[in-house]
Amino acid sequence: MTDIQEETLSVEVALKLLLEGNRRYMEGRPLHPNRGFMRRMETAERQKPFAIVLGCADSRVSPEIIFDQGIGDIFTVRVAGNVLGSLELDSIEFASLQFQSPILIVLGHENCSAVSAVVQGNTCEIESIAALIEPAIKRAKNLPGDLVTNAVKMNVEHIVRELKNSQVLAAAIQKKKLVIVGGYYHLEDGHVEVIY
C-alpha cells in the first residue's frame, strides 16, 4: 500500500497483501513499505489499516515486520498468548467499525512463552492470561504431537470462534466485508501458516 486507501480493499486482496509481504520477509527481501517521511505525513491526520492482527506480545513476532508492512497498514492488538479478553475485543471491534479493515488475523506462534508457562503450571504472575489459555490446553492434551504447539493452535482456533460470536464482527462477516482467519508463525523460517 502506498496511499491511504479511499475504498476498503476486498478480503482476498487484503489477505494476498499480507501473505505476499510474509513471503518477502521469509525470503530475506522485504520492501519495508510505508515507513518514510511521506507515510508519516499521510497518516498524521487519519489511518486506514487494511488488516487487524491480534497477536502475541512476544518480541519476536511483530506483525508489521513479519508481514512486511508499514505505518498505518495494520491495526495491531498485542497481548501475551494472543488471548482475547474484553479490552482486546473492544479494540478489535473499534477497528472493524472505524476502519472497515477486511481481514482479521489471530496470530499464534511457535514456542509461545505464555502457553508454555500455562502448560508447565507456572502461572502465578499471569493468572488472568492463563485462565484464557487453559481451555486450549485441555483440548490439546488428547492430540498427537507436541502439547505446546497443539495448544497454541487450539488457542488460535478458540479465539477465531469467539471473535465470530461478536455481534459487530458477525455483521461484517455476514455482509462479506470481513474475514477472520487464524495463523501460526514459525520462528525459524518466518512463515505464517494460515491454519483456520
- Answer for the pair 137, 119: CB distance below 8 angstroms, yes or no: yes
Q: Kindly report, residue by residue over 96-142, the tens digit of the pLDDT.
A: 999 999 999 999 999 999 999 999 999 999 999 999 999 999 999 99
What is 11-194's CATH number? 3.40.1050.10
Helix (H) or strand (E) holding 108: strand 103-109
Q: Where are the domains of the chain?
A: 11-194
Query: Each residue of 39-61: pLDDT tens digit?
Result: 988 889 989 999 999 999 999 99
Is 185:110 a contact under the CB 8 Å cutoff? yes
Bridge partners for 27 per DSSP: none
* Average pLDDT of the chain to the nearest whole number: 94
Query: Is residue 77 pLDDT above 50, yes or no?
Result: yes
Q: Write the pLDDT tens digit of every residue in 129-181.
A: 999 999 999 999 999 999 999 999 999 999 999 999 999 999 999 999 999 99
Q: Pairing relation of β-strands 51-55 and 103-109?
A: parallel
What is the identity of the amino acid at 154? M
What interhelical angle do 167-174 and 86-99 show, nearest 10? 40
On the 0-12 / 13-18 / 19+ scale of CB atoms within 10 A, 175 is exposed
Which residue in 184, 180, 150 sits closest to 66, CA to CA? Answer: 184
Query: What percentage of the chain carries pLDDT values higher than 90?
Result: 86
